[in-house]
Copies of this chain bind each other. A is one copy, B any other.
């Protein structure tokens, strides 16, 4: 235990001889693990590249200007301020050395007795990383701000475009991927276009925006029951979203996407297809990763040969329950975080650790104002499926319930109430320059290939 930081005195020294639990990542899994260790005789160190925990399920609402960034984020330090055995560092982990039980960050080296890797996932572009600049994904706060910027700028460009093709491309929004993120993004964009900006423009009619949701598989929300997939499609089409199933994107550039060989001209493309786990996992020598880059874990969430190392959440492939890997959702991550903490406590107390068992309370996705789908307690009830208003209220309730921090709950509730009454979107800020000449045709030739 000789990290350099040990030379810097702590103001509140707590159990200097206690085992050191290092947690990489302050998402749902990492933060739950840290909190669950509050009363354990361990020293918890949480490191993250960002200073805040992000309530990712609502990130699409920041991207569509419905919520402000601070409303869905809580400073990690603030969350753990009262937990005296925990400390937080803003640091970017670069390498995990399993043999020496050591994690190297961009400036400091951290030794550990127990390691919890909860580094999440990024979007996967199926080997086409060059698509990312044209079709940003939605994982971090900076992604949401980037998408918001593009989404708002598109209407500005459409309003001042003198060329019809430029205007049409600016008014076309393509969302790639029909999972929950894609469904929620497409619904939210259509809603704001239809209701929140109508009086704001003089030349375009924002409600005429085309929102196209592309899904490669045969149905939306593939992890949901089929009737809810169908209900989601109907609800989306009812508000005007064009849902296209069984469509493969084979190219993305500044002018739009190529779908099954045909060009679809669109200024704004949002990527919600495919995940790949954090590249940090590759630095763990001798560990099996699956095709999505996730570490294959044992039934107690530890790595084979390394009972002191846990991999959780989106970074883990846990296939001991039903054969399929558990999905990368926040309930899985939170339950795994608590379980990892329990296993550490068991070990310290000399008890045999229990295997992890995921309790599925259901899944939900919102489509728009008073529109949603939900599947509740699938292990208890054979079929407890909700659609529409009731599912939407359930969604509201659950999301508020889990949103970290009393203050944020109040703010989000107020914002939603206000938005429901007025359709007002409070966070419509473009904070940087448009690229020059954005209302001009970029390349007339390219735009001719419109589908």
Cβ of A288 < 8 Å from any Cβ of B?
Answer: no
Minimum CB distance partner of A204 in chain B: B11
- In chain A, positions 54-100 with a C-beta closer than 8 Å to chain B are 68-71, 73, 75, 77-78, 81-82, 87, 89-92
A69–B411 CA distance with the chains assembled, in angstroms: 14
Residues of B within 8 A of A364 (CB): none
Residues of B within 8 A of A203 (CB): 5, 8-11, 87
Residues of B within 8 A of A82 (CB): 199
Cβ of A102 < 8 Å from any Cβ of B?
Answer: no
Q: How many residues of A contact B (CB 8 A)?
A: 69
Cβ of A133 < 8 Å from any Cβ of B?
Answer: no
Pick the residue among B68, B160, B431 that contacts A89 (CB under 8 A).
B160
Pick the residue among B51, B424, B426, B428 that contacts A428 (CB under 8 A).
B51
Q: Decide yes or no: A142 and B51 within 8 Å by CB, A5-B162, A87-B202 being known contacts.
A: no
Residues of B within 8 A of A161 (CB): 8
Q: Is the pair A160, B424 in contact by a Cβ cutoff of 8 Å?
A: no
Which of A50, A70, A153: most chain B CB closer than 10 A?
A: A70
Q: Decide yes or no: A108 and B69 within 8 Å by CB, A11-B202, A407-B426 being known contacts.
A: no
CB distance from A93 to the nearest CB of B (A): 12
Pick the residue among B52, B68, B205, B407 that contacts A424 (CB under 8 A).
B407
Cβ of A433 < 8 Å from any Cβ of B?
Answer: yes
CB distance from A235 to the nearest CB of B (A): 28
Which of A73, A140, A418, A439: most chain B CB closer than 10 A?
A: A439
A52–B152 CA distance with the chains assembled, in angstroms: 12
Q: Is the pair B440, A107 in contact by a Cβ cutoff of 8 Å?
A: yes
Residues of B within 8 A of A197 (CB): 77
Q: Is the pair B428, A89 in contact by a Cβ cutoff of 8 Å?
A: no
CB-defined interface of A130-146 with B at 8 Å, one 1/0 digit per residue? 00000000001110010
Cβ of A429 < 8 Å from any Cβ of B?
Answer: yes
Q: Is the pair B433, A78 in contact by a Cβ cutoff of 8 Å?
A: no
Minimum CB distance partner of A152 in chain B: B51
Pick the residue among B92, B202, B428, B434 that contacts A78 (CB under 8 A).
B428
Q: Is the pair A160, B70 in contact by a Cβ cutoff of 8 Å?
A: no
Which of A8, A69, A157: most chain B CB closer than 10 A?
A: A8
Q: Is the pair A50, B106 in contact by a Cβ cutoff of 8 Å?
A: no
Cβ of A12 < 8 Å from any Cβ of B?
Answer: yes
Cβ of A156 < 8 Å from any Cβ of B?
Answer: yes
Residues of B within 8 A of A157 (CB): 90
Q: Is the pair B49, A433 in contact by a Cβ cutoff of 8 Å?
A: yes
Q: Is the pair B70, A436 in contact by a Cβ cutoff of 8 Å?
A: no
Cβ of A4 < 8 Å from any Cβ of B?
Answer: yes
Q: Decide yes or no: A70 and B5 within 8 Å by CB, A77-B197, A202-B87, A407-B424 being known contacts.
A: no
Cβ of A427 < 8 Å from any Cβ of B?
Answer: yes
Residues of B within 8 A of A439 (CB): 107-108
Q: Is the pair B202, A156 in contact by a Cβ cutoff of 8 Å?
A: no
Cβ of A111 < 8 Å from any Cβ of B?
Answer: no
Q: Is the pair A428, B75 in contact by a Cβ cutoff of 8 Å?
A: yes
- In chain A, positions 178-223 with a C-beta closer than 8 Å to chain B are 197, 199-205
CB-defined interface of A407-433 with B at 8 Å, one 1/0 digit per residue? 100010010001000001011111111
Pick the residue among B8, B153, B199, B436 that contacts A162 (CB under 8 A).
B8
Q: Is the pair A7, B49 in contact by a Cβ cutoff of 8 Å?
A: no
Residues of B within 8 A of A430 (CB): 50-52, 90
A→B interface (CB under 8 Å): 4-5, 7-12, 49-52, 68-71, 73, 75, 77-78, 81-82, 87, 89-92, 106-108, 140-142, 145, 152-153, 156-157, 159-162, 197, 199-205, 407, 411, 414, 418, 424, 426-434, 436-440
- 13 chain-A/chain-B pairs, Cβ below 8 angstroms: A51-B429, A52-B428, A68-B69, A70-B426, A78-B428, A90-B157, A92-B433, A107-B436, A107-B437, A141-B429, A142-B432, A407-B418, A411-B426
